[in-house]
Amino acid sequence: MNLRKRCNIVSMFMLVAWLAAAALTLANPAAGEAASKPEAWEKRQGGTLVIGSSKDMNTKHPFTRVTSVDEFIKMMMWEPITMYDLAGKLHGILAESWEPNADASEWTFKLRRGVKFHNGAEMTSADWVWCYNYILNPANGAYANTVLSDNIAKVEAVDPYTVKFKMVGPRALFPHVLSSIQNGTIVPKNSLGGKVGEIEGNPPPGTGPFQFVNWTPGTQVEFKRFDDYWEGTPYLEGLRFRIITNKAARQNALRAGDVNMADRLRPSFAERVKKGRITGIKTRAVGGAGFRQLYFNTKGKWTSDKRVREAIILSLDREATVEEGFLGVGDPLPLAVPPDSDWLRSGAANLPSYERDVKRARQLLKEAGYNGEPLSLNMTLGQEVALGEAIVRQAAEAGLNIKMAPVESTIFYERLGKGDFSLLMSSGRFRGEPGLEETINYVCEKGKVRRSRTGYCNPAMDALISSYPTASDRAERVRIYGEIVKAVFADEMMQYGIGWSNNRNFGWRDNVKNWQRGPGQEYRNALGGLHRTWIEK
């Protein structure tokens, strides 16, 4: 592995941990005391922060499916129950604490006191119960229904600030599940109704640092400061997400000062900022957002043969692929977990060596009777074509005929659903519990949840992966993760990890102070976010 890059990513994680610790000591608001003012508030307050955003918010509904930037924007007004910090530690946001019973089949959550909704009402357990019952009722069509009904059997209020969840079985990872607003942010009770997934007028109030003002779909989303925010009044008076889909246009807008911040800038832009050729701007690579990996269709024409899958893996050189495919801004790594983490140690122990061996690959292909028949590489248009090309070229040296098929995302998912592909390029991010991420790819039948994307179907695998969320002990989950890795990578050769792509850069003008990114996102983490950011006058 490239040592320099390794150092980069390690130092990044260290920095993040330090920041988290610092923030912990600094920003510990007094519980129950809303409308407190953070440090130097009078001096720093004011101004509207304009953000050039690559994508728009999707809906005004809190319980529809969220997609990356859509979720980041919504998290300005709606907050999850729990949230990760940059070090990967889970913190309470709308809950102060939580406690499972012995086998994690029952969870008791203590609500944070003094949390106010944007409409002025205080958040209580009645709101929680109403929201979870809303999601659990299939007639409402909430996206989280699938996930939550696999966790919660019953939800009840113990007192105004205590909620008890009866689970369908042992569910050790329930607080993790609640770290996404999609799986249950809290809005005032009875604030939703009508047709599935639709909202008339303004979205329901949330508890977040900013409250909704208006939304012009595809153009901009506007928020204003929520003075009674439980963590203290934000500095910024307003927040405006300007939707600028084009990278060049976002960069121009940032340079021209039309926006104060912009996401997803080109590496070349960051390079010019670094070299001092563009001034007045700072940038940072927001790594950890895009891990790239290949999946094989185990029901595919040729890829159903394990020898072919192994041959493809043996034909690839990870270092070279990353260098070529990520244009020099990537970190080669076989698993979508932080380097030096116990996850990686546990997984890596079970990984095959992955030394490139073209000769062996040819031998395997010969045995499988493969003779240059086309194999399709299904990928979305947004993904790195350079990466696909690197893979195609290396595989060709072993006699493999891989055809890149970059398609628009609806078609991508449709092919996925039909199993109409040989290889699949997918991106993922680390969300704290890597064992949960593979469910969709390898679990075949599990109640009413989906069939596996790779077409793989094995009760032993089903049992292994479903045992993961039941394990209360982290060490146990680390061990199970290692087992999953062994089965997926070593035994079945169904997956190949390429590495982290660090080509997403976030930029901000010099006068924007105290911007802190979240894990995999730009605007919020458990210990900081735009509500702690100010514009220097």
Partner 1 sequence: MRMIRYTLLRALQMIPTVLLVTVAVFVLIIIIPGDPVLSMLGYYADDVTAVPHEIYDRMFRELRLDRPIPIQYLYWLGDALQGDFGKSVVFRVPVIDVVLSRVPATLYLGTASLLIAIVVAVPFGVWAAVKNDTWVDHLASGFVLFGVAVPGFWFGMIVILVFAIYLGWLPSIGYVAPQEDFLRFLKHLIMPATVLGLDVAANILRFQRTDFLDQLHQDYVRTARAKGLPGQVVIWKHVLKNSLIATVTVVGLNTARLLGGSTIIETLFSYPGLSRLLIEAIYARDFPVIQAVVLWMVVLVVVVNFFVDLIYAYLNPRIRYTTA
Contact (Cβ atoms closer than 8 angstroms) between residue 72 and residue 524: yes
Residue indicated by tokens 């999850």 = 80
What DSSP element (H or E) covers 146? helix 145-149
In the bound state with partner 1, the residue whose beta carbon lies nearer, of 68 and 145, is: 145
State in angstroms the smallest separation of the CB of 236 from partner 1: 20
Indicate left, alpha or beta for 276 from its phi (over 0: left) and psi (-120 to 50: alpha). Answer: left
Q: Which amino acid is at 524?
A: R
Name the nearest CA neighbour of 79 among 209, 199, 224, 225. Answer: 209
In the bound state with partner 1, the residue whose beta carbon lies nearer, of 4 and 277, is: 277
In the bound state with partner 1, the residue whose beta carbon lies nearer, of 120 and 447, is: 447
Q: Please work out, in degrees rounded to the nearest 5, the angle formed at the alpha carbon of residue 328 by the alpha carbons of 437 and 338.
A: 30
State in angstroms the smallest separation of the CB of 325 from partner 1: 24
In the bound state with partner 1, the residue whose beta carbon lies nearer, of 74 and 362, is: 74
Q: In whole angstroms, what separates CA 261 from the centre of its chain? A: 21
CA distances from 360 to 357, 367, 371 (A): 5, 11, 15
CA distances from 449 to 149, 198, 298, 429, 462 (A): 10, 24, 19, 22, 12
In the bound state with partner 1, the residue whose beta carbon lies nearer, of 53 and 233, is: 53
Q: Which two tokens stand for residue 189?
A: 């009770």
What DSSP element (H or E) covers 524? strand 524-525
In the bound state with partner 1, the residue whose beta carbon lies nearer, of 52 and 100, is: 52
Contact (Cβ atoms closer than 8 angstroms) between residue 479 and residue 345: no
- Cβ–Cβ contacts within 10 Å for residue 122, how many? 17
DSSP string, 511-530: TEE----BTTBSSEETTEEG
What is the per-residue burial (b if ≥16 Cβ within 10 Å, else e) of 355-390?
ebbbeebbebbeebebeeeebbbbbbeebbeebbeb
358 φ/ψ angles, rounded to the nearest 5 degrees: -65, -35
In the bound state with partner 1, the residue whose beta carbon lies nearer, of 11 and 246, is: 246
In the bound state with partner 1, the residue whose beta carbon lies nearer, of 262 and 530, is: 262
In the bound state with partner 1, the residue whose beta carbon lies nearer, of 162 and 458, is: 458
- Quote the DSSP letter at residue 369: T
Nearest 10 degrees: Cα torsion 361, 365, 371, 373: -80
- Quote the DSSP letter at residue 449: B
State in angstroms the smallest separation of the CB of 226 from partner 1: 24
Contact (Cβ atoms closer than 8 angstroms) between residue 221 and residue 73: yes
Q: Which two tokens stand for residue 530?
A: 């735009």
In the bound state with partner 1, the residue whose beta carbon lies nearer, of 392 and 449, is: 449
- Quote the DSSP letter at residue 158: E
In the bound state with partner 1, the residue whose beta carbon lies nearer, of 218 and 459, is: 218
Chain residues binding partner 1 by CB under 8 A are 52, 58-61, 64-65, 138-139, 141, 143, 145-146, 195-199, 216-219, 242-246, 248-249, 252-253, 255-259, 408-411, 413-414, 416-417, 448-451, 453
